[in-house]
Structure 1
Amino acid sequence: MTNPPRLILASSSAYRRELLSRLQLPFDAMAPDIDETPLAGEAPEATALRLSLAKAQAVAALAPGSLVIGSDQVATLDGQQIGKPGNHENALDQLRLMRGRRVVFHSALCLYDGRHSTYQLENVQTFVTFRDLPDAELDAYLRIEQPYDCAGSAKNEGLGIAILERVDSVDPTALTGLPLIALTSMLRRAGVAFFKE
């Protein structure tokens, strides 16, 4: 019986590491060094898929023969991309724009198999309706959570859940940034066993 390939998460995100640890598989995490700027005229879904593949390929090049997980998330409102705010003012502007409205989060996933130089790609959409909250509440939320590294300023893992009215998705982990239902399907197809007799 051959040893399973090394599993690597191509991410520096603590949220994604926590999610992947739920699968109880040994893995390493490596931050990919890529440019995450959207291309001119690129559709949000295409951006997320392209970047998830690019992240996985960048790390796979450093660890030949490994299974590498790449993931990227793009939030959109009326078809326009909403990136990571980076600071308080931008985050408040984002939340004002999104309040009372439905935002689509594209959580793209790639599993790159370095044994065969093949990959699997999938985009899992999550539809999030934001509560229509006053500026004072939005400002207070931002000062508590400081979600400046989260697409759309929505940190649903913590207090951010209180600014959301509704979440619709086929995968409850997709909004956090690593769709585990899709990932477990990909890993199974790559020969990874979750339950050993």
Structure 2
Amino acid sequence: MPLILASTSIYRRQLLERLGLPFVVARPDVDEAPLDGEMPDQTAERLAIAKAKALVERSPDALIIGSDQVAHLGAQRFGKPGSVPKAVAQLQQMRGQRVVFHTAVALVNSSTGNTQVAGVPTVVHFRDLSDDEIVRYVEKEMPLDCAGSAKAEGLGISLLEALSCDDPTALIGLPLIALTRMLRAEGVAIP
């Protein structure tokens, strides 16, 4: 069965390439706004499923991967900043705090309708960063397309005191341990 990544994220594409499986990328058309009263982990998991299911009609005989990530500090959510001032503001709010990055992955078999989903939280403890450190980081890394403005796979690692997670790829945006488990359940041989 063809494998489709329902995401245009370069980070997710690079992670999926690690598995050495052929796949194509397609853009899902999904409203990513959280629902009223929805917890961050519920938002991530709902959106991961919605992104995968958005491609079912176009690909009736495929395995479709959807993924989403919600960064939050209590009730405060941190999306993709999109601009330097917003990235700086996000990091100022997160400095010295423990922020949860909840990453969800879903796999939909479009021919059977079988849907699997898993959520993987990563607790990220940010250092007590100075404004100068934040500005220098944002200017060098330009993390404008990353939830929470921190790219731990790059210079963003210098912003952290510690992190805790069961899957090191979850923080980057696609939990490969959970995904490979799902793919094996669908009969895909990995490795």
Tell me if both proteins adopt one fold, taking TM over 0.5 as the criterion. Answer: yes
Residue in 1 aligned with 2:87?
91
Residue in 2 aligned with 1:76?
72
| % identical aligned pairs | 56
Matches of 2:76 and 2:129, distance apart in 1: 22
Runs ≥4 residues deviating over 4 A: none
Instruction: Say which is worse superposed, 154-163 or 78-87, in terms of deviation.
Output: 78-87
Residue in 2 aligned with 1:193?
189
Q: Say whether residues 1:58 and 2:57 are aligned partners.
A: no
Counterpart AA for 1:23: L
Deviation at 1:158, TM superposition (A): 1.1
Counterpart AA for 2:82: G
Counterpart AA for 2:23: F
2:54 is paired with a residue whose SS is: helix
Counterpart AA for 1:170: D
1:60 is paired with a residue whose SS is: coil
- Where structure 1 has 5 or more consecutive residues not aligned to the other structure, the ranges are none
What per-residue deviation string (whole Å, max 9, x for no partner) do you get for residues 2-45 of structure 1?
xxx00000000111011000000110111111111111221101
Residue in 2 aligned with 1:24?
20
2:14 is paired with a residue whose SS is: helix
1:167 is paired with a residue whose SS is: strand
Deviation at 1:80, TM superposition (A): 2.6
What count of residue pairs does the alignment treat as equivalent? Answer: 191
Deviation at 1:79, TM superposition (A): 3.4
Matches of 1:22 and 1:83, distance apart in 2: 26
Residue in 2 aligned with 1:141?
137
Matches of 2:170 and 2:80, distance apart in 1: 17
Counterpart AA for 2:105: L
For the aligned residues, what is the CA RMSD? 0.9
- Where structure 2 has 5 or more consecutive residues not aligned to the other structure, the ranges are none
Q: Say whether residues 1:179 and 2:175 are aligned partners.
A: yes
Residue in 2 aligned with 1:15?
11
Q: What TM-score comes out, normalization by structure 2 length?
A: 0.97
Q: Say whether residues 1:154 and 2:147 are aligned partners.
A: no
Do the aligned residues in 2 keep the contact of 1:9 with 1:30 (CA within 8 Å)?
A: yes
Residue in 1 aligned with 2:35?
39
Instruction: Say which is worse superposed, 75-84 or 176-185, in terms of deviation.
Output: 75-84
